[in-house]
Amino acid sequence: MNATRPANERFYSIIPAGGIGSRLWPLSRAEAPKFLHDLTGSGNSLLRDTWDRLAPISGEQRIMVVTGRAHRAAVEKDLPELADPNVVLESEPKDSSAAIGLAAAILMKREPDVIIGSFAADHVIKDNRSFVRAVREAIAAADAGYIATIGIEPDEPAIGFGYIHCGGEIEIDRAPSAMLVESFVEKPKLATAQQYIASGDYLWNAGMFIARADVLLEQLGQAQPALLAGLLELADAWDTPARGAVVDRVWPELTKIAIDYTVAEPAAAAGRLAVIPGHFSWDDVGDFASIAKLHAGGRKADLAILGGNRRILADDATGVVISQSKRLIALIGVENIVVVDTEDALLVTTTAHAQRVKSVVDALKLGGSSDVL
Amino acid sequence: MNATRPANERFYSIIPAGGIGSRLWPLSRAEAPKFLHDLTGSGNSLLRDTWDRLAPISGEQRIMVVTGRAHRAAVEKDLPELADPNVVLESEPKDSSAAIGLAAAILMKREPDVIIGSFAADHVIKDNRSFVRAVREAIAAADAGYIATIGIEPDEPAIGFGYIHCGGEIEIDRAPSAMLVESFVEKPKLATAQQYIASGDYLWNAGMFIARADVLLEQLGQAQPALLAGLLELADAWDTPARGAVVDRVWPELTKIAIDYTVAEPAAAAGRLAVIPGHFSWDDVGDFASIAKLHAGGRKADLAILGGNRRILADDATGVVISQSKRLIALIGVENIVVVDTEDALLVTTTAHAQRVKSVVDALKLGGSSDVL
């Protein structure tokens, strides 16, 4: 390896842009997944915002996007700077171990000493400077041989996120706030979440992983040797004329498994997972309640209006309305309402029932209404 | 007058089909007023249901419809049996005294001994046999010289309707249940409505008037002599080539006033207004809460679905959804919700706020959004 390059110059961003975001139906759907939407009112898609956040860190020539074949055109339109060799297309979704692992393997083949950082395409982050500071520390921790993650300082006992249980501090040069990860915990009940917050030992798991590619893949291979072998075979062929044939043969056989199980949890158990606390506001925008909260700015009496349609008349209404149509929308006396108005489907619910949207999508699937999914 | 014809044979139905029904926006609007909609799920418009209710009483050759010029085509399509001389078109709305008064005057010109009955085009009645019985009694009362109305036996202390305060019984042949009307009272507060119900002396005012045309017009002329003169002038010219010119000159000058003030209240004060109690279920379907109630059939947990679109998925939803689109509509966890989905406008409110729809329509008018009104 060429260890003479500084860690920051060896850094490469990976954006896995997959996942429909079923809880955001009918806005998000197979043809228009969550990451392609502007859910913040910034005027940019979440993917574009992610790109803009990472470009100053790795440089725009060093961002790789992993997405489905169906989204290639939309992604390339959204990210005209995206270099062709940095587009990795999945023929079918194989979950995050395969998506991130393949990107890491391709990059390692090209640059054996590469440090990769994987960041979801559909999360919202405010305060980019704090984000950059945290990523820089994570890169330093990765350079020191750790698999690093960034845990978000919670501002409330959220029950919609997983948590990271932090252990002792670690001494790492240029990563002064690094701690060991004791364990990952699933979405808790409220009382448990409140205990987490009170203890001060827990951070939200934002699913960001920063590591040397070789370290990440070695860890993955311990849990899933066959998956690693497939990924390395794909990476060997990737920049050669054999790519197509190897993809067709190998990709369909890969095990579908989240990177949490193949890398994050085993690494934590092995004492090689470091966490950098992120002092910035973060949300995975998992449902319409998140969107409403994101836009309320702390004001409970707010109605968030998203989606381009500005012909909305609200009389004593709070919640969120997202309209892609040109119809006039009148809301009267509805609290915490969620109205999502698309060309072929309309959703009316409340922020309290936002999590149930997924079950409707499941019912539509079963009921043969895939035309609107 | 030809008093040899029995009263029932002298009877003529008048259906004033005016009024947009602003509280039912965006379903009802200038181009698609309330009476043209199927609000009962019968498959027929309210106008058509009104026609079908009256045809057995007066015969379909003896039903006159007064409507706006803009609605002529829709009305004639809905009522193919409607005879051409029985269509009275208003060049502009002039309220119920002019509409009903003109119809009465035209009919009196054609048949001096005619008994007219006026029935709104946009009310809902169940139990046609009881309706027919009440109308027959009202015709007998009219034949005896009274202005008659049909008051609805209340089944709850409604605050959305006006009430009729009944006085003593009157002896009229073939109208055994006729009583004098003591007075009309406006929509009461709940406590007052409860007293009304407890007393047993009050009926709902359904705005039905049955009278000899000459009696009705004479009463109207006492309150509004100029209006009566205009109506008689119009009636004189109606079946002649002069109609157009006289309409253009006279109609715009007519006083705009409800028949309640020119006929009903003065006749009650003069002791010449008879009321027949109607033992049938009636509703003026004044707002979306009425529609929800109409369809709930007493079951509070019901979701009424109207408007042709059957692609509606409800998970724990009550209230009413009316959709004219082909979009899939999903409702999750919304109680007493009102969703009205039209091509160019969407309303989301609750049954509790149904009366506020009119204020939104007013706001749209002021805001220059007449394209959706």
A313 to B364: CB separation less than 8 angstroms, yes or no = yes
Of A328, A353, A363, the CB nearest to B345: A328
What pLDDT score does A164 carry? 98
- pLDDT tens string A290-315: 999 888 655 556 899 998 888 999 99
pLDDT at residue B177 tops 80? yes
Question: How far is residue A17's CA from residue B215's CA, in Å, rounded to a whole number?
Answer: 80
Instruction: Decide if pLDDT at A40 tops 90.
Output: no
C-beta neighbour count of B126 within 10 angstroms: 12
Nearest Cα neighbor of A17 from A74, A80, A84, A85 is A74
* pLDDT at position A17: 97
Give the integer Cα–Cα distance in Å for A115 and B66: 81
Mean pLDDT of chain B: 94
* Residue of chain B minimizing CA distance to A339: B348
Above 80 in pLDDT, residue B297?
A: no
Helices (H), A11-149: 46-58, 72-78, 95-110, 128-143
Q: What is the DSSP string of B125-176?
A: EE-HHHHHHHHHHHHHHHHTT-EEEEEE--SS--SSS-EEEEEEE---TT-T
In angstroms, rounded to a whole number, what is the distance separating the alpha carbons of residues B296 and B290?
10
Contacts of B360 in chain A (CB under 8 A): 313, 315, 330, 332
How many Cα atoms occupy the beta-carbon half-sphere of B232 within 13 Å?
14
- Of the candidates A331, A349, A369, the beta carbon closest to that of B332 is on A349
Distance CA A310, CA A238 (A): 46
In our burial notation (b when 16+ CB lie closer than 10 A, e otherwise), range B205-230 reads bbbbbbbbbbbbbebbbebbeebbeb
Residue A214 CA to residue A263 CA, distance in Å, equals 12
Instruction: Give residue-wise pLDDT tens across range B211-220.
Output: 999 999 999 9
Closest CA to B268 of B366, B162, B160, B124: B162
Q: Chain A residues within 8 A (CB-CB) of chain B? A: 26, 311, 313, 315-316, 326-334, 337, 339, 341-350, 352-353, 356-357, 359-360, 363-364, 367, 369, 372
The pLDDT of residue B269: 96
The two structure tokens encoding residue A257: 């498994």
Write out the DSSP string of B215-231.
HHHHHHHHH-HHHHHHH
Asked whether the CA dihedral B77, B82, B88, B94 is positive or negative, the reply is negative
Average the pLDDT over each of A18-22, B87-91, B320-324 and give the range with the smallest value.
A18-22
Tokens (6 digits) for B111: 């048949």
Render pLDDT for A235-268 as a digit per residue (tens, 0 to 9): 999 999 999 999 999 999 999 999 999 999 999 9
Residue with tokens 């587009």: A87
Proportion of chain B above pLDDT 90, given as a percent: 89
- Cβ contacts of B182 within 8 Å, gap of 6 or more: B165, B166, B167, B201, B268
Beta strand residue intervals within chain A, DSSP E: 11-17, 63-68, 87-90, 115-118, 124-126, 147-152, 163-169, 179-185, 202-212, 273-278, 281-283, 303-306, 312-315, 319-323, 328-332, 337-341, 345-350
Would the CB atoms of B360 and A327 count as touching at under 8 Å?
no
The two three-digit tokens of residue B370, written as one number? 């007449």
CATH number for the segment(s) B7-283: 3.90.550.10
Ordered by start, the domain boundaries in chain B are 7-283, 288-372
Are the Cβ atoms of A360 and B329 closer than 8 angstroms? no
Alpha carbon of A25: minimum distance to chain B alpha carbons (Å): 10
**What CA–CA distances, in Å, run from B165 to B58, B179, B182, B183, B191?**
29, 10, 5, 5, 16
Q: What is the pLDDT of residues A110-166, one digit of tens each?
A: 999 999 999 999 999 999 999 999 999 999 999 999 999 999 999 999 998 999 999
Q: A319 pairs with which residues across the strands? A: A303, A337
A346 to B330: CB separation less than 8 angstroms, yes or no: yes
Three-state DSSP at A133 gives helix
- In whole angstroms, give the CA distance from residue B289 to residue A261: 52
The contacts of residue A320 (CB under 8 Å, 6+ apart) are: A288, A291, A292, A295, A303, A304, A305, A306, A337, A338, A339, A351
Quote the pLDDT of residue A1. 47
SS3 B15: strand
Q: Is the pLDDT of residue B1 over 80?
A: no
Evaluate if residue B19 carries a pLDDT over 90.
no
Q: Distance, in angstroms, between A232 CA and closest chain B CA? A: 45
Q: Do B332 and A357 touch (CB under 8 A)?
A: yes
Angle A95-110/A225-238 helices, nearest 10 degrees? 50
> What does the pLDDT average to over B266-283?
97
The CA distance from B114 to B192, in Å, is: 39
Q: Which of B328, B334, B353 to mutate to test the interface with A (most CBs of A within 10 A)?
A: B328
Say which amino acid occupies A210: I
| Contact yes or no for B356 and A333 at CB 8 A | yes
Residue in A closest to B339 by C-alpha: A348
Assign A20 a pLDDT band (cuts: 50, 70, 90): confident
Residue in A49, A53, A46, A51 with CA at minimum distance from that of residue A21 = A46
A337 contacts A354 by C-beta, under 8 angstroms: no
Residues 6+ apart with CB under 8 A from B353: A316, A332, A333, A334, B338
- Helix (H) / strand (E) element for A246: namely helix A243-250
Residue type, A15: I
Asked if A146 contacts A274 with a C-beta cutoff of 8 angstroms, the reply is yes
- When pLDDT is averaged across residues B17-39 and rounded to a whole number, the result is 93
What is the distance of C-alpha B52 from the center of its chain? Answer: 15
Size of interface A-B (CB pairs under 8 A): 123
Cβ contact B330–A360 (<8 Å): yes
Rg of chain A over Cα atoms, rounded to whole angstroms, equals 21
> ipTM, 2 decimals?
0.87
Q: Which residues contact A283 (CB under 8 A, 6 or more apart)?
A: A123, A124, A290, A293, A294
Q: Could you tell me whether strands A163-169 and A179-185 are parallel, antiparallel, or unpaired per DSSP bridges?
A: antiparallel
| Cβ-defined contact of A315 to B356 (cutoff 8 Å) | yes
d(CA A350, CA A335): 8
Average pLDDT of chain A, as a whole number: 94
Question: Cβ distance A81 to A29 under 8 Å?
Answer: no
The rounded distance, in Å, linking the Cα atoms of B274 and B211 is 10
Peptide bond into A26 cis (omega under 30): yes
Helix ranges, A265-370 (H): 265-269, 288-296, 357-366
At B301 the pLDDT is 62
In the predicted structure, residue A3 carries a pLDDT above the cut 60 = no
Q: Which residues of B touch A327 (CB under 8 A)?
A: 342-346
Q: What does DSSP say about strands A202-212 and A147-152: parallel, antiparallel, or unpaired? A: antiparallel
